[in-house]
Amino acid sequence: MARVCQLTGKKAMVGNNVSFSQRKTKRRFNPNLVKKKFYLATEDKWIQLTISTQALRTVNKIGIEKAISRAKEKGFYAG
How far apart, in whole angstroms, are the C-alpha atoms of residue 12 and residue 19?
21
pLDDT tens digits for 9-48? 999 999 999 999 999 999 999 999 999 999 999 999 999 9
pTM equals 0.84
Q: Count of CB atoms within 10 A of residue 2's CB?
A: 7
Question: Which numeric CATH code is attached to 13-74?
Answer: 2.30.170.40
Quote the CA–CA distance of 22 and 30 in Å, as a whole number: 23
Q: Is the pLDDT of residue 1 over 70?
A: no
